[in-house]
Amino acid sequence: MKPSTPKGTRDFSPTEMVRRNFIFKTIREVFEKYGYQPIETPAMENLETLTGKYGDEGDKLIFKILDSGEYFESVRKDLKEDLQSKKTSLLNLEDENFNKQTLQEQWECIEKIITDIKTQDVTKHISEKALRYDLTVPFARYVVQHQNEITFPFKRYQIQPVWRADRPQRGRYREFYQCDADVIGSDSLLNEVELIQIINDVYTKLGISVTIKINNRKILQGIADFFKIKDFSEFVTILDKADKMGAEFVRKELISQNILPLPEAGMFSTLFFESPQKELKAAIDQNKLNLLKVWNEDANSEIGKKGVEEIEFIFSQLSNIQYPTSNIQLDISLARGLNYYTGAIFEVKANDLQMGSICGGGRYDDLTGIFGLPNISGVGISFGIDRIFDVMNELNLFDSIGLTASITKVMLAHFGEAERTYCIGVASQLRVSGINTEVYPDITKKISKQFGYANKKQIPFVIVIGGDEMKTGELTLKNMISGEQIKMKVDLIISKLI
């Protein structure tokens, strides 16, 4: 039986690793360019740190870890005592007093005990740790735990895998990486501006043309005020479906759920779902903004006014970005699912490919409150590595940015033992000069086998060492793509390959 990885998990081959590492490196460098610092948290968190933070559905998807050692020791001890007493009372029944009724009752007690240890209740006793489900909750835990060592505002990034017991399907895995940047302890809108710059810089460097959609929960609140919507959270939940289900679905849903009366729904739809101008490039759609202002004035919504102010400030500051390549636009239909957002929200889509969002984020007012440190505002974004990888793959971007599959620059081939020994010296010189070099390890007269190896590994250059080369020091460098061959001394080869 061939071994395999667990359902929903993957191995990454060298070629995939080169590509994924390129994406990670790009994101990491941009984060650091803006002063974000790396942290790492353990794969395991205490169960109580994670449960209750992701809703009932989320809780079910947390991977729990069995306690090590005698898993059932404590359970066993409790039950042993319980059972012992039941047994005693059963066996002590006087024969004459025995009847099925008593046996039935005793039996039910025993069944209850068995049920207890069979059902999930027992997991309380056998699992006190779980794998992290996202990077946000561990980050909140980190901030509270280390609050006295941290310099606030704290700008951190974190690139680590997370685990979810989701049903695996195309593009959805049980283990996947998240790439998060958050700043916590500052309510300055400059952070929002810089996060948008970061998104723009990352996708520019990766060569992916994107649209960055921006909205603000406060603007949505203003709209809710104007339309006298009572259940704001339900309103946001329905709006959040626009992307997947379409504008018409949302309009109908708002009506059928009695959130918007029929005539008002039309007015609302016009504002929300008219196609945004494609070529805005970090300029705001003034018409929409003006309509929002009228509504906020009309409903006297302070929070709505604040939202419009914030969005105007962000766009005004964005005009200072050098070389923005992304399309940055206000999208009033953007809602974002998570309910802890309270201010600006972001979502990014690739322009040249139909694909879900490849980055998202927003501002939250109280993330660390759950761990006892209330009222610390923060804002953050998260990049979806797997989707970015898929986009780049499907658009052939890895090739067009010239990312080679091989990390090795040159391989040394040889005709025998003496030649291989000579190779070690040459390889050492190349490596000292910073050139990634392989010596074909096995001794074989079959030079074609060695070339086959280089070809399969897509190594771009090969040097063949034979008796002549050892005598003269003139080595033949073969370009494996063009087939071109040049004879020269090792110093010249080095200066050519560097």
CA atoms within 13 A on the CB side of 470: 17
Cα three-residue angle 117-123-125, rounded to 5 degrees:
80
What's the token pair of residue 137? 């909750």
Q: Which of 56, 91, 471, 484 binds a copy of itself (CB under 8 A)?
A: 91
Place of tokens 């709209």: 223
Q: Helix (H, G, I), strand (E, B), or coil: what is residue 390?
A: helix
Cα three-residue angle 27-31-36, rounded to 5 degrees:
150
Q: Which of residues 108-127 bind a copy of itself (CB under 8 A)?
A: 110-111, 113-114, 117-120, 122-123, 126-127
Q: Does 89 bind a copy of itself (CB under 8 A)?
A: no
Q: Which of 24, 59, 175, 356 binds a copy of itself (CB under 8 A)?
A: 175
In the bound state with a copy of itself, the residue whose beta carbon lies nearer, of 122 and 247, is: 122
Q: Which of 421, 448, 472, 485 binds a copy of itself (CB under 8 A)?
A: 421
Q: Which of 209, 269, 317, 325 binds a copy of itself (CB under 8 A)?
A: 317
| Segment lying near a copy of itself (by CB under 8 A), choices 258-266, 290-298, 334-342, 404-412 | 404-412
Q: Which of residues 255-294 bind a copy of itself (CB under 8 A)?
A: none
| Segment lying near a copy of itself (by CB under 8 A), choices 68-76, 225-233, 250-258, 485-493 | 68-76
DSSP string covering 424-492, please?
A: HHHHHHHHHTT--EEE--S--S-HHHHHHHHHHTT-SEEEEE-HHHHHH--EEEEETTT--EEEE-HHH
Strand partners, 129: 46, 65
Region for residue 239 given its phi and psi (left: phi exceeds 0; alpha: psi -120 to 50; beta: otherwise): alpha
| Segment lying near a copy of itself (by CB under 8 A), choices 83-91, 284-292, 296-304, 476-484 | 83-91
The least distance separating a copy of itself from the CB of residue 404, rounded to whole angstroms, comes to 12
CA distance 126 to 87: 26
The least distance separating a copy of itself from the CB of residue 248, rounded to whole angstroms, comes to 36
Q: Which of 169, 275, 322, 375 binds a copy of itself (CB under 8 A)?
A: 322
Contacts of 348 (CB under 8 A, 6+ apart): 199, 203, 210, 211, 212, 213, 357, 358, 359, 360
What is each CA distance from 217 to 211, 365, 495, in whole angstroms?
A: 19, 12, 57
In the bound state with a copy of itself, the residue whose beta carbon lies nearer, of 175 and 366, is: 175
The residue type found at 335 is A
Q: Does 418 bind a copy of itself (CB under 8 A)?
A: no
The least distance separating a copy of itself from the CB of residue 269, rounded to whole angstroms, comes to 36
Place of tokens 């209740």: 121
Nearest Cα to Cα of residue 40 among 170, 152, 151, 180 = 180
The least distance separating a copy of itself from the CB of residue 215, rounded to whole angstroms, comes to 21
Q: Helix (H, G, I), strand (E, B), or coil: what is residue 375?
A: coil
Q: Which of residues 447-466 bind a copy of itself (CB under 8 A)?
A: 453, 456-457
In the bound state with a copy of itself, the residue whose beta carbon lies nearer, of 340 and 371, is: 371
| Segment lying near a copy of itself (by CB under 8 A), choices 3-11, 250-258, 383-391, 474-482 | 3-11
| Segment lying near a copy of itself (by CB under 8 A), choices 149-157, 213-221, 245-253, 489-497 | 149-157
The residue type found at 366 is D
The least distance separating a copy of itself from the CB of residue 340, rounded to whole angstroms, comes to 17
| Segment lying near a copy of itself (by CB under 8 A), choices 187-195, 231-239, 466-474, 487-495 | 187-195
Q: Does 415 bind a copy of itself (CB under 8 A)?
A: no
CA distance 209 to 194: 19
The least distance separating a copy of itself from the CB of residue 191, rounded to whole angstroms, comes to 5
Q: Does 492 bind a copy of itself (CB under 8 A)?
A: no
The least distance separating a copy of itself from the CB of residue 396, rounded to whole angstroms, comes to 21
The least distance separating a copy of itself from the CB of residue 132, rounded to whole angstroms, comes to 11
Region for residue 309 given its phi and psi (left: phi exceeds 0; alpha: psi -120 to 50; beta: otherwise): alpha
